[in-house]
Amino acid sequence: MQPRGHHLAELNVGRLVAPTDDPRVADFMANLDRINGLGKRMPGFVWMMEGSGEPGTGNTEAKIDGDPQYVSNLTVWDSAAALDTFVWGTVHKQFYARRQEWFEVLGGMHFVMWWVPAGHQPTLDEGLARLEHLKANGDSDHAFGWSHLKIVTGWRDGVCGSEGAELRV
């Protein structure tokens, strides 16, 4: 249940199969602005961690462990329902279905959600700490995946396992 005065933060981490300028990930890179722009225009969107602002780069400059092929997406939504609608009820779902073309299988959880006070803009380090907490402890009010949110069900139809293996592009 969403705590009063809180929004939903989500972090999604992936490792590209190739560098961002490689033809194997060209379609993913070419659609970053389109999908991120759609997310920003969705009802319930609050905030997104931004990159340099260079067209077609999204937030690919934010490296994890210095690895240039790791990319992350960190956003805040006013509710779980708003995020659910964007992820599973828009063209985003079509790009999610193609994730194997562009991303390595990480073999573990790489998506986490948590509640933040309204107005808070989480950092990548904060999100990574929540992800580690989820990996170590499973779903809790501190860090959770889709299955922890009983009020949304789009992820079930999106074939998103209990690990919350969502890939937002």
Domain boundaries, the chain: 6-159
Q: In what order do the strands lie in the sheet with 6-15?
A: 45-48, 70-77, 6-15, 111-117
Q: Can you give the pLDDT at residue 125?
A: 94
Domain 6-159 classified CATH 3.30.70.100?
yes
Q: Which amino acid is at 130?
A: R
Q: Can you give the pLDDT at residue 163?
A: 34
pLDDT, tens digit, 9 for 90 and up, residues 76-131: 999 999 999 999 889 998 988 899 999 998 877 899 999 999 999 999 999 999 99
Provide the token pair at 77: 């939504």
pLDDT, tens digit, 9 for 90 and up, residues 41-58: 999 999 999 865 565 556
pLDDT, tens digit, 9 for 90 and up, residues 59-69: 666 778 888 89
Q: How many helices (H) and strands (E) does the chain have?
A: 6, 4
Rounded to 5 degrees, what are φ and ψ at 133? -60, -45
Q: Can you give the pLDDT at residue 59?
A: 60
Is residue 169 scored above 50 in pLDDT? no
Q: Can you give the pLDDT at residue 65?
A: 85
**Which residue matches tokens 């828009």?**
90
Q: Which helix (H) or strand (E) holds 94?
A: helix 92-97
pLDDT, tens digit, 9 for 90 and up, residues 128-154: 999 999 999 999 999 999 888 876 655
d(CA 44, CA 80): 9
Q: Can you give the pLDDT at residue 18?
A: 96
Q: What is the pTM of this model?
A: 0.85
- The count of other CB atoms within 10 Å of the CB of residue 149 is 21
